[in-house]
């Protein structure tokens, strides 16, 4: 009897060579059994708002409000992109890349430090691709791949619970004064539990840092190489990367300085712990453009596919953006914007919309999902309206990162005003 070998997409990309994997991979390269067929899924192309039931006049009002905030000095610059039914109905740039300097205007291809959006566009998607490949299982212990995590009662923490912020790990456990990176990673892996895994929700940079290490062990390569080969390259997200090369600095919006770096941070992840760990980390570190983020969102609206390129199976694409957190304490989540982030409903990496303090405003439909980056970057998807909104700014991390300063950032950037305005521009289904 003839035995047929199952060809994995990862193998094909490797055979194609690193140069091909780093760029947009052609449909022919990805034409593997069970991975595409039939009609293509929508891809993003510009078009008139009225063709997809939106008002040009109201969208101009949305953009004018961003411009006014930049002119008032609330943040140096921004890009915004709005798309519906696969049509980009607005894509604008505002302000400047560096605070106090007017000689470098933000352009549509400006790259921003998206900080915690990394959790979605790099780490969570990489984990789910590995699950799709059969290399990892959602309900297996993370310590299978990272044995040093098994101490202090953490041996049963699953990939599923790490993805949905229910791992039992605290928000963070930094070690900034230790120059030995191996010692820092060991310190983080040995962190004691803050609560029994799977019993409540708590947003955790630490969980996603360690999940990045789990992915590297399962994939057999660095996180940035894996996600570039399996996700960003096939999607044509050529402006999305960890640790941009110095030659790209002219395209990057500055955020800094930080508590540890007195200079203007530009092209370096703003989080000091992630910078100390080398800048390729599961919770932060990605730089990207509004268009690349919108392409990623469109892929998930298409349930794992973009054009004729499939990134994720339909079941896992749906699971990624579905509410995975029945344990949420709604009374606690409704207390403040910071509580909404820390203990509100989550998907795999994503925040799920809630009506009071969501960064997506008050008017998104139920089951909408989004992700915020702590330096002032936002993306939200409303599946009921087939709508994407991306707002990237270089406001910079609030310091200290507490409830008051988080509120000040959200008020300055005006994310809720942006998304409420986008929804107000929808006139027809």
By annotation, the residues acting in catalysis are 116
List C-alpha distances in Å: 124 to 117, 204, 207: 10, 13, 11
Sign of the alpha-carbon dihedral angle for 30, 31, 34, 36: positive
Return the closest-CA partner of residue 371 out of 346, 394, 396: 346
Return the closest-CA partner of residue 163 out of 312, 317, 348, 346: 348
| DSSP code of residue 115 | G
Angle subtended by helix axes 125-133 and 314-321, to nearest 10: 150
Strand partners, 87: 45, 84
Which H/E stretch holds residue 156? none
The torsion of the CA quartet 188, 190, 193, 196, rounded to 10 degrees, works out to: 120
Q: How far, in Å, CA of 190 to CA of 170, rounded? A: 12
Given a contact cutoff of 8 angstroms between Cβ atoms, the answer to whether 191 and 150 are in contact is no
Given a contact cutoff of 8 angstroms between Cβ atoms, the answer to whether 8 and 135 are in contact is no
Q: How far, in Å, CA of 124 to CA of 130, rounded? A: 10
195-220 in b/e form (b: 16+ CB < 10 A) is eebbebbbbbbbbbbbbbbbbbebbe
Q: How far, in Å, CA of 209 to CA of 189, rounded? A: 10
The torsion of the CA quartet 60, 428, 416, 47, rounded to 10 degrees, works out to: -50
């Amino acid at each position: 009897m003839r035995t047929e070998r199952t060809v994995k997409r990862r193998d094909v990309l490797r055979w194609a060579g690193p140069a091909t994997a780093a760029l947009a991979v052609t449909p022919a390269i990805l034409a593997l059994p069970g991975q595409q067929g039939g009609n293509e899924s929508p891809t993003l192309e510009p078009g008139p708002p009225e063709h997809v039931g939106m008002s040009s006049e109201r969208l101009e009002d949305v953009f004018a409000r961003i411009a006014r905030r930049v002119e008032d000095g609330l943040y140096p610059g921004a890009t915004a992109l709005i798309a519906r039914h696969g049509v980009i109905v607005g894509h604008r740039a505002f302000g400047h890349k560096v605070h106090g300097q007017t000689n470098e205007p933000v352009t549509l291809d400006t790259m921003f430090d998206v900080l915690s959006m990394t959790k979605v566009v790099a780490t969570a998607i990489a984990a789910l691709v590995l699950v799709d490949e059969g290399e990892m299982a959602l309900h297996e212990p993370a310590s299978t791949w990272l044995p040093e995590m098994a101490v202090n009662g953490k041996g049963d923490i699953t990939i599923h619970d790490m993805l949905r912020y229910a791992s039992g790990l605290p928000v963070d456990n930094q070690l900034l004064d230790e120059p030995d990176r191996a010692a820092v990673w060991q310190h983080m892996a040995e962190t004691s539990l803050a609560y029994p895994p799977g019993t409540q929700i708590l947003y955790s940079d630490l969980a996603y840092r360690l999940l990045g290490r789990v992915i590297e062990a399962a994939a057999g390569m660095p996180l940035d190489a894996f996600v570039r080969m399996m996700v960003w390259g096939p999607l044509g997200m050529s402006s999305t990367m960890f640790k941009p090369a110095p030659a790209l600095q002219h395209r990057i919006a500055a955020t800094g300085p930080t508590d540890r770096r007195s200079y203007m941070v530009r092209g370096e992840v703003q989080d000091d712990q992630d910078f100390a760990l080398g800048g390729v980390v599961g919770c932060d570190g990605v730089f990207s453009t509004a268009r690349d983020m919108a392409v990623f969102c469109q892929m998930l609206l298409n349930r794992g596919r973009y054009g004729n390129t499939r990134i994720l199976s339909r079941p896992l694409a749906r699971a990624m953006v579905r509410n995975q957190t029945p344990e949420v304490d709604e009374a606690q989540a409704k207390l403040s914007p910071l509580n909404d982030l820390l203990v509100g409903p989550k998907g795999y990496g994503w925040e799920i919309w809630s009506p009071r303090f969501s960064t997506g405003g008050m008017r998104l439909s139920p089951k909408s999902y989004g992700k915020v980056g702590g330096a002032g970057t936002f993306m939200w998807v409303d599946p009921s309206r087939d709508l994407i909104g991306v707002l990237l700014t270089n406001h910079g991390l609030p310091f200290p990162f507490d409830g008051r300063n988080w509120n000040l950032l959200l008020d300055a950037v005006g994310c809720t005003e942006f998304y409420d305005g986008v929804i107000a521009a929808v006139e027809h289904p």
